């Protein structure tokens, strides 16, 4: 009969255990030539170079000079590997909140940090997330995000909700910008030319009677200019933080 582990409860997946360094090497058998970090690094290298779609088990194995099936000794499945890739891809949180700044400045910096990571590694957006965060780096980001709201009168549950709101916004905005860039590459259009082309296409498709508001937007030339996407990001983030500020004011009063 197999001995049950201490009080491990639902027994977290082996890939997660190794991410937390909870795996001691058994003293028998040959030295492993492959290690989980080496595999994850190779996979991240492939994703950085050729995108997430290029990350196949055989491609990662080739990157390591190993055979495809060798990887399965170390990661349980491709999904396991993806989870570990996300953890490594985000990297460590950029640091705790600065005590001399207020919550808004700190949370803004936190949001921009994730924004920058996602801009540098767009493939992170394409990994289907499997559940709530349980890997070390991910929780590090969450810890530092919570720290931004430390001085506020918000209850813990609302801090968490706000963090979810902000990180969701950052992910969503990054996804929009990224799929726009991919779309322009796929269509073979210059990145600056895409929005005007999109506007022209819309103008040709829509009936001004059926779509009056949309026609008005088009007429205002909203899509003609290619504004720096950072402005759009700042706009949305400021709206959300305005909303948070209103809540804090209400909870203070």
What is the binding site for DNA (CB under 7 A)? 25-34, 55-59, 66-70, 72-74, 77-79
Taking CB under 8 A as the binding criterion, the range among 26-34, 42-50, 85-93, 192-200 that sits at the site for a second copy is: 192-200
Looking at the Cβ atoms of 7 and 31, the one nearer to a second copy is 7
Per-residue CA distances from 240 to 115, 165, 252 (Å): 15, 8, 18
For 91: left if phi > 0, alpha if psi spans -120 to 50, otherwise beta; the answer is left
Interface positions, 32-51, toward a second copy (CB under 8 A): none
Q: Which does 109 bind (CB under 5 to 8 A by kind): DNA, a second copy, none?
A: none
- Cα–Cα distance measured from residue 14 to residue 40, given in angstroms and rounded to the nearest whole number: 14
If one asks whether residue 246 binds a second copy (CB under 8 A), the answer comes out as yes
Interface positions, 114-173, toward a second copy (CB under 8 A): 126, 128-132, 134, 139-140, 142-143, 146-147, 150, 155-162, 164-165, 168-169, 171-173
Looking at the Cβ atoms of 55 and 177, the one nearer to DNA is 55
* The only residue of 153, 212, 230, 251 in contact with a second copy, by rule CB under 8 A: 212
Q: Which does 161 bind (CB under 5 to 8 A by kind): DNA, a second copy, none?
A: a second copy
Terminal CA-to-CA distance of the chain, rounded, Å?
61
DSSP 8-state code for residue 71: G
Q: Which long-range contacts (CB under 8 A, 24 or more apart) does 140-144 make?
A: 140/92, 140/93, 141/90, 141/93, 141/114, 143/93, 143/96, 144/93, 144/94, 144/95, 144/96, 144/97, 144/110
């Amino acid at each position: 009969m197999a001995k049950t582990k201490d009080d491990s409860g639902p027994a977290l997946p082996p890939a997660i255990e190794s991410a937390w360094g909870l795996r001691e090497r058994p003293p028998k058998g040959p030295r492993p030539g492959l290690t989980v970090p080496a595999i994850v690094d190779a996979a991240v290298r492939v994703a950085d170079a050729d995108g997430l779609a290029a990350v196949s088990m055989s491609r990662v194995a080739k990157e390591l000079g190993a055979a495809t099936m060798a990887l399965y000794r170390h990661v349980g499945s491709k999904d396991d590997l993806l989870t570990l890739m996300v953890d490594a891809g985000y990297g460590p949180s950029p640091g705790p909140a600065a005590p001399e700044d207020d919550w808004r400045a700190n949370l803004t910096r936190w949001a921009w940090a994730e924004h920058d990571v996602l801009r540098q590694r767009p493939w992170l957006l394409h990994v289907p997330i499997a559940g709530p965060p349980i890997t070390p780096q991910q929780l590090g980001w969450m810890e530092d995000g919570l720290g931004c709201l430390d001085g506020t009168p918000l209850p813990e549950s609302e801090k968490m909700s706000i963090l979810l709101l902000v990180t969701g916004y950052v992910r969503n905005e990054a996804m929009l910008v990224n799929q726009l860039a991919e779309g322009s590459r796929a269509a073979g259009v210059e990145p600056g030319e895409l929005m005007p082309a999109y506007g022209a296409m819309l103008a040709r498709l829509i009936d001004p009677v059926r779509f009056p508001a949309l026609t008005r937007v088009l007429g205002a030339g909203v899509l003609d200019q290619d504004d720096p996407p950072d402005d759009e990001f700042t706009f949305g983030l400021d709206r959300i933080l305005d909303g948070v500020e209103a809540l804090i004011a209400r909870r203070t009063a």
